[in-house]
Copies of this chain bind each other. A is one copy, B any other.
Amino acid sequence: MRIDSRKNDQIRHTKITRNYTKYAEGSVLIEAGDTKVICTASIEDKVPPFLKGKGEGWITCEYNMIPRSTKVRKIRDINRGKIDGRTMEIQRIIGRALRSVVDLKSIGEKTIWIDCDVIQADGGTRTASISGAFIALVDAVNKLHKQTPFNIYPIRDFVGAISVGIVGNVKMLDLCYEEDSKANVDMNVVMTDSGEFIEIQGTGEEKPFSKQDLSELLLLAEQGIKHVIQIQKESLKMDSLWIGTGERK
């Protein structure tokens, strides 16, 4: 049995609180076990230089951990003088995951800033960030849609994410920090509600893994993401109706 008494194919208790802070267009607290992340979506009426004049929007993501979200206090980026590679990797994957289900042309020349600030880290912060940021994004997009309906509602599908890994020789779903730090193989998977992959990042730094391992891990991940998307749907309720409809004015 796992250290927190879960089964190997069971995700942690996951909870999504919408409207967590008052200024952002979308603001969510996601809790996955002891991992807690504030995800906000902010809308800005301009796009980065490479998109100017193309009539398209953009979604960009920043990820950060407050210093004592971790066991050992983490020095702030500004005092280390740079963003570390892990943070870079994470904010890039969150951005790609969300952009993959959004019709950026439909949004027009706007940037949606996604900020994921980890308050407490117990493994799986990047996947929790994706799952939580998706809801903040939906709330921000709906706020726009209610003001001035989009020609085509821009969100095409749900996006959920989860980690899987091999700890000892056991394949496990949704690793907490202690499991993650002992894992031989570590994989983050992002999928849509329609069961397709958006991103797979698997690494066997400690030990290479076989095709059979890969298949089993992806099955576990699929099962976990289904559960996560169900929790997303419950949190959004009626506010999820437009997703995937491509509704037109």
Interface residues of A (CB under 8 A from B): 21-24, 27, 34, 36, 38, 40, 42, 44, 62, 64, 66-71, 73, 76-79, 81-83, 85-86, 88-89, 91-92, 96, 99-101, 113, 115, 117, 119-120, 157, 191-192, 194-211, 213-214, 218
Contact = CB atoms under 8 A, between A and B. Distances in A.
Contacts of A70: 23
Contact of A100 (B24, B68, B198, B206): B206
A21 B197 contact: no
Contacts of A115: 66-68, 73
A22 B122 CA distance: 10
B218 A211 contact: yes
- State the main secondary structure of chain A at its contact with B: mixed
A119 B204 CA distance: 29
Q: How many copies does the complex hold?
A: 6
A113 B73 contact: yes
Given A23-B70, A40-B68, A197-B214, A82 B83 contact: yes
A20 B81 CA distance: 29
B89 A85 contact: yes
Given A42-B73, A119-B38, A120-B21, A197 B208 contact: yes
A214 B200 contact: yes
Given A67-B42, A68-B115, A218-B211, A196 B205 contact: no
Which of A64, A66, A89, A206 counts the most B-chain CB atoms under 10 A from its CB? A66
Given A96-B203, A197-B202, A202-B200, A66 B117 contact: yes
Contacts of A197: 202, 204, 208-211, 213-214
Contacts of A38: 66, 119
25 contacts: A21-B69, A64-B76, A76-B77, A78-B82, A85-B88, A85-B89, A85-B92, A86-B92, A89-B89, A99-B205, A100-B208, A157-B208, A194-B208, A196-B209, A196-B210, A197-B208, A197-B209, A197-B211, A198-B203, A198-B205, A198-B208, A199-B202, A199-B203, A200-B203, A214-B218
A121 to B, nearest CB: 8
